[in-house]
């Protein structure tokens, strides 16, 4: 009896000490006699109390490295999670009968992580689960930026042990509209003079004079007169040439891509360029020209879009010629830009602009005679050239979603090749076509006047 009282007093002291160490928010599992098994989840480095409906005489834990146990009384057990994993807690009665088997699952503590996740990303539908010593994130977030924030926070609680099963909701396809507009103006003027004199005596006809006529001058743009007195002849020719030019370039490529995926577009052609390789073999390389567009969109947050863009407009320049291996190769005129910008859906950005003004002039004259007032202009040649270029590249991104095919119309939908009777008898270049829906709206366009992709 004395020994039994001493044991009871010792167990009571241990129970009081452990009860003081149990956190106030510890969970409690109650097991019933005769239950085949129960399930208990214990966060790592935290405790759960197990209570039995009858006193137990023996208890054991299958793997003490996963969970540690201590008795608080003959009906209560203190279970402490030590390492992620699963083990079994067995409770036996006085006669060795089985009270219950408790399946203990120790996982990493994600309670604080869930609280921080709700504070940083309120309103996001993110589910947090544990798998062994890893954190599993699932659900749907509104943007890729918030997905990255959730993963970064999870890495701080389980470094290198985060599984991402989350999806990004919302519109994730971007259509980029690019407008490339260029105006080139050129003006050139030339004024030149030529004067000559000759004397004829018998069969001998010496002549002399000076000409400042430029290579670009022509007799059709000049004014000349001659004076003859006996065997003396004087010729004067004034030439003036003025030219003006205007070049207008407009390109509007549109391209759609999924967020994070690269897309490219080329409307033009490829110029074959011969190159000499090993053993003097000739190979052909093709250089593209025309309107080129390459971009990678990323939907950052909601309607905020990050764009990596590379666009170019190139054409063959006949003024630049290179002869290689007996083959004449033309040069290229290219306007290109590569940049990264960020904007919202529907906003526009001028990503590139160029204002160039080139001016050249020159004068040539006969020494001393060209400096004579008034009459000196007969011994001078003057020319100047001025070229102005204006280039602007504007981009506009749009978040887009697919539509039903019936809602889209093609340029070919409103035109039907004519029958032989319509072509030869009626002189029609296009036949009549009955259309419905969006095609019918496009077909109502009038083709009697100017028409095309760009209408002014």
Reported in sequence order, the residue ranges of 304-439 that DSSP labels E, i.e. its strands, are 304-324, 327-344, 349-365, 380-399
List the structure tokens of 29: 């599992």
pLDDT tens figures, 279-309: 777 788 888 888 889 999 988 877 889 999 9
φ and ψ of 428, to 5 deg = -85, 135
Please say if the pLDDT value at position 217 is more than 50.
Answer: no
- Percentage of the chain modeled with pLDDT above 90: 10
Q: What is the mean pLDDT of residues 359-376?
A: 75
Cβ neighbourhood burial of 442 (10 Å; 0-12, 13-18, 19+)? middle
> Bigger pLDDT: 155 or 326?
155
Cβ neighbourhood burial of 25 (10 Å; 0-12, 13-18, 19+)? exposed
Instruction: Return the pLDDT at 404.
Output: 79
What CATH number is given for 37-107 in this structure?
Answer: 2.60.40.1080
Q: What is the mean pLDDT of residues 86-97?
A: 86
Name the one residue in this structure whose structure tokens are 């994993």.
85
List the structure tokens of 101: 């088997």
* Alpha carbon distance 12, 185 (integer Å): 101
List the structure tokens of 83: 């390492």
Please say if the pLDDT value at position 195 is more than 80.
Answer: no
Domains 37-107 and 122-168 share a fold: no
If you average pLDDT over every residue of the chain, what do you get?
A: 77
Instruction: Return the pLDDT at 35.
Output: 57
> Bigger pLDDT: 310 or 455?
310
Instruction: Return the pLDDT at 342.
Output: 92
Using pLDDT thresholds of 50, 70 and 90, give the confidence band for residue 137: very high
Instruction: Return the pLDDT at 19.
Output: 38
Q: What is the mean pLDDT of residues 345-354?
A: 88
Please say if the pLDDT value at position 206 is more than 70.
Answer: no
Question: How many alpha carbons fall within 13 Å on the CB side of residue 23?
Answer: 10
Instruction: Return the pLDDT at 263.
Output: 92
Instruction: Return the pLDDT at 432.
Output: 66
Residue 83's alpha-carbon distances to 25, 39, 80, 263, 355, in angstroms, are: 20, 17, 10, 48, 69
Task: Give the long-range contacts of residues 18-24, CB within 8 A, separation 24 or more.
Answer: 18/70, 18/72, 18/78, 19/72, 22/47, 22/49, 22/78, 23/47
> Bigger pLDDT: 429 or 78?
78
Instruction: Return the pLDDT at 331.
Output: 83
Using pLDDT thresholds of 50, 70 and 90, give the confidence band for residue 374: low
* Alpha carbon distance 107, 65 (integer Å): 13
Neighbour order of strands in the sheet with 38-43: 38-43, 98-107, 85-92, 58-61
Count of helix runs (H) and strand runs (E) in the chain: 5, 22
Do residues 67 and 107 lie in contact, with contact meaning Cβ atoms separated by under 8 Å?
A: no
Instruction: Return the pLDDT at 319.
Output: 79
* Alpha carbon distance 369, 195 (integer Å): 12
Name the one residue in this structure whose structure tokens are 């430029």.
214
Pick from 382, 379, 353: nearest CA to 368: 379
Q: What is the mean pLDDT of residues 423-442?
A: 67
Among the ranges given (118-127, 166-175, 259-268, 402-411), the one the predictor scored with the smallest mean pLDDT: 402-411
Q: Where are the domains of the chain?
A: 37-107, 122-168, 173-186+244-365+379-402, 404-447
Instruction: Return the pLDDT at 438.
Output: 53
CATH of 122-168, one of 3.40.50.12780, 3.40.50.720, 3.40.1160.10, 3.30.1340.30: 3.30.1340.30
Residue 285's alpha-carbon distances to 272, 319, 336, in angstroms, are: 6, 21, 21
pLDDT tens figures, 2-60: 333 333 333 333 333 333 344 434 467 777 665 556 788 888 888 888 888 888 888 88
Residue-wise burial string across 328-344, b where 16 or more C-beta atoms lie within 10 A, e elsewhere = ebeeeeebebeeeeebe
Please say if the pLDDT value at position 1 is more than 70.
Answer: no
């Amino acid at each position: 009896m004395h020994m039994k009282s001493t044991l009871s007093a010792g167990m009571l002291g241990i129970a009081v000490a452990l009860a003081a160490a149990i956190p106030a928010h510890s969970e409690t599992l109650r097991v019933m006699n005769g239950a085949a098994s129960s399930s208990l989840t214990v966060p790592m480095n935290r405790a759960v109390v197990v209570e039995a409906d009858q006193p137990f005489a023996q208890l054991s834990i299958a793997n003490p490295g996963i969970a540690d146990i201590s008795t608080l009384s003959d009906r209560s057990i203190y279970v402490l999670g030590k390492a992620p994993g699963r083990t079994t807690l067995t409770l036996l009665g006085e006669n060795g009968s089985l009270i219950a088997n408790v399946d203990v699952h120790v996982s990493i503590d994600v309670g604080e992580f869930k609280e921080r996740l709700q504070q940083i990303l309120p309103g996001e539908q993110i589910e947090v689960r544990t798998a062994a010593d890893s954190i599993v994130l699932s659900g749907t977030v509104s943007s890729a930026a918030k997905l990255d924030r959730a993963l970064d926070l999870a890495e701080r609680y389980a470094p290198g042990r985060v599984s991402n099963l989350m999806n990004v909701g919302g519109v994730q396809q971007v259509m980029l509209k690019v407008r490339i507009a260029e105006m080139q103006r050129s003006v050139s003027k030339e004024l030149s003079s030529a004067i000559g004199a000759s004397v004829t005596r018998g069969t001998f006809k010496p002549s002399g004079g000076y000409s400042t006529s430029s290579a670009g001058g022509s007799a059709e743009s000049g004014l000349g007169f001659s004076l003859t007195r006996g065997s003396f002849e004087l010729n004067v020719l004034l030439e003036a040439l003025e030219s003006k030019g205007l070049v207008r370039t407009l390109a509007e490529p549109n391209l759609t891509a999924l967020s994070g995926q690269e897309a490219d577009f080329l409307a033009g052609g490829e110029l074959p360029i011969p190159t000499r390789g090993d053993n003097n073999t000739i190979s052909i390389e093709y250089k593209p020209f025309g309107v080129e567009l390459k971009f990678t969109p990323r939907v950052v947050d909601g309607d905020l879009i990050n764009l990596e863009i590379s666009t170019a407009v190139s054409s063959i320049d006949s003024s630049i010629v290179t002869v290689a291996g007996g083959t004449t190769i033309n040069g290229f005129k290219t306007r290109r830009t590569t940049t990264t910008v960020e904007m919202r859906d529907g906003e526009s950005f001028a990503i590139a602009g160029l204002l160039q003004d080139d001016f050249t002039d020159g004068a040539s004259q006969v020494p001393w005679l060209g400096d004579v007032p008034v009459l000196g202009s007969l011994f001078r040649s003057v020319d100047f050239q001025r070229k102005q270029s204006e280039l602007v590249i504007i981009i506009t991104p749009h978040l887009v979603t697919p539509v039903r095919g019936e809602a889209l119309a093609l340029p070919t939908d409103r035109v039907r090749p004519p029958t032989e009777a319509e072509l030869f008898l009626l002189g029609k270049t296009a036949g009549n076509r009955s259309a419905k829906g969006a095609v019918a709206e496009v077909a109502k366009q009038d083709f009697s006047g100017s028409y095309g992709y760009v209408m002014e």
